[in-house]
Structure 1
């Protein structure tokens, strides 16, 4: 009995020690992850990186940063410099972005946004006012275009009574009229100001077309606009060279490949206005680099490829280019993970393709439940809304994951490192490590 008691005690002690080792390893992993991720996001979203767009070579500065991290972690390259280059057409705003309304200078990115396909415009113009209602019939639209010729058309919001008078058929005409004002070079106005309740977010364009159009926040306008002064410098670049950044780690078995991706590009600058892109997608890039760091210290089961894609925001161009010009056999890919918007997590994560690859999704959710990591792991079907899409189209299995809850800043000047909470980043990282190590 005494011997049996000692054996039982010894087994219990070993079990306790093992549990403590697992706990301490988990704590140590978490302690290392967040400081590194924060430094990555802080760097990528800083002024020095110019919004990781196509003004002042922001994309190239970011790519060089990522390449240096790949080198530091000992990742190998399929090319001689980790880069896969390609060319894009891009409309940029590298110079002045000034809008003065009746003598008041408005703040770019906060009070107004230049629509990203717009050409340059300089000079002072008289304003002509109209509203959606005035675009709701062909007769009134013709009158607006006639009377606003050579002026700035200020398209105000309708009051509630006017809104009720607009039919569904008229709504369609209003949309067509707005598209004409935005995009058609033959419209007779000098520029259009769209007065809105709030700015809905910016983007980049691969084309420059139409007449200049600007969205202005209604709340900053003190009275009916009479005169508008512009100094807006746009530069269209027909062939801008940008790049994907690609590295890999050998695994215990190189017959199969795990692919971990995130886009690093953002919108850059609109004149002096910086679009930092902390959550979109410096945070996803930080997750990718954190996993590269982890697997450089813990040999993965399979060869693991890490890809930082460029030109995602302008139509998933970098990932499409890679899939059309792969640097390794895509049929070897066992699974792909795409990280975007990784900086919150108050409400858990959303898993695009979760219902497509249900077996893998169930395993991911079970790991989360077992270790009590994230508030929830939500399932979603297929959606062609990020860089996984090009891989989906050639039957590469994978998830696109983004965090839920937290900040509202998105595609604007307020998506900053200082306000990004990183609420669940450590637990999110741990979940991904456990999921990938069990593939």
Structure 2
């Protein structure tokens, strides 16, 4: 009996080649296109990305001679991703819809549909790898970085569980992007030269501010510039009784007030902005560009600093609460007071940074060797042992 694999055909080159490779490997392959959005009022211009994409996915399936169908997951997508995003932005946090889309949609809702259709596995076009080892007589699945350092997408899968990984296949993870395009060209697939999709996971080319403005009403507030010599940045370090006190101190968030800076302009809603953002402030006349160093959604104030080296952008310790802490490798999870040396990143494509995990009763501190720019609440921190992603969490 051939094993059955259902491929999430997105209409892009990566999932097209994933389907081709699985067929070559002797699997029974079925292509499924996920329709996650059909509100065309928020896509840019008059392009209707999901229609074009589903059409391309259908043509690829036809070319490969595999069955194809479309599933409409827009209701679940709205509930689990879009509503969550609005909620997070409203709280002044910056969510990562791509990470959530993988955890909640592709490897949950979609996976359940696939398993109901008798699939043994679900496959996607992600650039990452999976291996399985045996530990204490049990199978343990490892999530490894993709072979292509420029395309490694393991970060986007940082919230997957052992159960989800057990059923997942990543056929292009061993390849470099140019090799994937070459295979697509050799097989004469319509997606061979198609540009990689940008924009929100599966929604297509959406302008995030337009998208947010549909739900979060504009509200005028002020943009305040905080000078580099703010006392908060130049405090003398207190002496600490223990490591926990030090971690708590270093991870704390400055609380700015309007009186500490100069009003530089106006904005249409603090909830549209995120830490580290430079574009969209529309404030001129400063020696260096302004960067968002903090947003206060309660008071509706955006705090900024001049230049990418402004001290308000940097710190080296972050915290993840127990509720938002996730181990891909549950067998490696730390107990209270344990530490672990890891490599970590706080955003996709960031070069891995040396860090130490400190497990405490209420959650976990991640202490980086070097200062990190724009550690942003609501984003994910993921940690690795060599090339294996072992856990992640939402930055508090």
Q: TM-score with structure 2 length normalisation? A: 0.24
Bigger CA radius of gyration: 1
Q: Identify the structure with bigger relative contact order (alpha carbons < 8 Å, sequence gap 6+).
A: 1
Larger proportion of helix: 1
TM-score computed with the length of structure 1 as normaliser: 0.22
